């Protein structure tokens, strides 16, 4: 795994560990549910697409797997000063670009050789492909917003096309 970010304070960790499963989480807003930790178990890498809300969440996620994280619009306190706005992670042959708000995407992912863009912000889980690039939003794993699901996603890189599974953490009530 190689990680690059726009933060000069962060060094690019390199690991020989093969990454087969990536856990995607976003918009925790200070709440890391036990169901989220359970669903992220077995991940070789976790990507948090911002709006963390509490630095302890990052500590908990790092206990599960190596972590790539970007700053979201609510991450404004001192503890989040060194979180990058964007990050790039390499998992095997896959290059993954991470940004909190897709509207802040500052490059053409296909032209840059990016295979997947992970974002948050909207709280809406989604998966779509454009110009050969997979765009994934795991949804919000934090407090429920409106009638949107409380969710995260898991990406299995072992087979092409990659499998994206959305995990609803808290069932919706009718």
Q: Tell me the C-alpha distance between 16 and 92, whole Å.
A: 10
Residue 153 pLDDT > 90, yes or no? Answer: yes
Structure tokens at 46: 């976790």
* Consecutive H or E run containing 36: helix 34-40
What confidence score (pLDDT) does residue 174 get?
Answer: 58
Give the single-character DSSP code of 172: P
Burial degree of 7 (CB within 10 A; 0-12, 13-18, 19+): middle
Burial degree of 101 (CB within 10 A; 0-12, 13-18, 19+): middle
Residue 68 pLDDT > 90, yes or no? Answer: yes
Residue 8 pLDDT > 50, yes or no? Answer: no
The stretch 160-173 carries a mean pLDDT of: 91
pLDDT (tens digit, 9 = 90+) per residue, 129-147?
999 999 999 999 999 988 8
Mean of the per-residue pLDDT values for the chain? 90
What confidence score (pLDDT) does residue 14 get?
Answer: 36
The stretch 162-174 carries a mean pLDDT of: 89
Burial degree of 85 (CB within 10 A; 0-12, 13-18, 19+): middle
pLDDT (tens digit, 9 = 90+) per residue, 41-62?
999 999 999 999 999 999 999 9
pLDDT (tens digit, 9 = 90+) per residue, 20-41?
999 999 999 999 999 999 999 9
The stretch 61-76 carries a mean pLDDT of: 98
Buried b (16+ CB within 10 A) or exposed e, 124-146: ebeeeeeeebbbbbbbbbbeeee
CA atoms within 13 A on the CB side of 79: 12
Structure tokens at 44: 């070789």
Q: Tell me the C-alpha distance between 172 and 174, whole Å.
A: 7
What confidence score (pLDDT) does residue 93 get?
Answer: 85
If DSSP codes are grouped into helix, strand and coil, which group holds residue 129? strand
């Amino acid at each position: 795994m190689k990680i690059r970010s726009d933060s000069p304070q962060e060094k690019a960790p390199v690991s020989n560990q093969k990454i087969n499963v990536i856990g995607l989480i976003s918009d925790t807003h200070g709440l890391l549910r036990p169901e989220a930790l359970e669903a992220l178990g077995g991940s070789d890498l976790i990507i948090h697409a911002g709006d963390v809300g509490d630095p302890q969440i990052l500590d908990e996620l790092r206990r599960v797997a190596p972590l790539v994280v970007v700053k979201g619009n609510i991450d404004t306190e001192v503890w989040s000063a060194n979180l990058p706005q964007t990050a790039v992670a390499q998992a095997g042959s896959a290059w993954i670009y991470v940004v909190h708000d897709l509207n802040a995407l500052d490059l053409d992912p296909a032209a840059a050789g990016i295979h997947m863009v992970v974002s948050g912000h909207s709280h809406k889980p989604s998966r779509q492909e454009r110009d050969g690039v997979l765009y994934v939003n795991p949804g919000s794993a934090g407090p429920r917003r409106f009638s949107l699901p409380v969710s995260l996603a898991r990406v299995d890189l072992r087979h092409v096309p990659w499998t994206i599974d959305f995990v609803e953490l808290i069932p919706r009530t009718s």
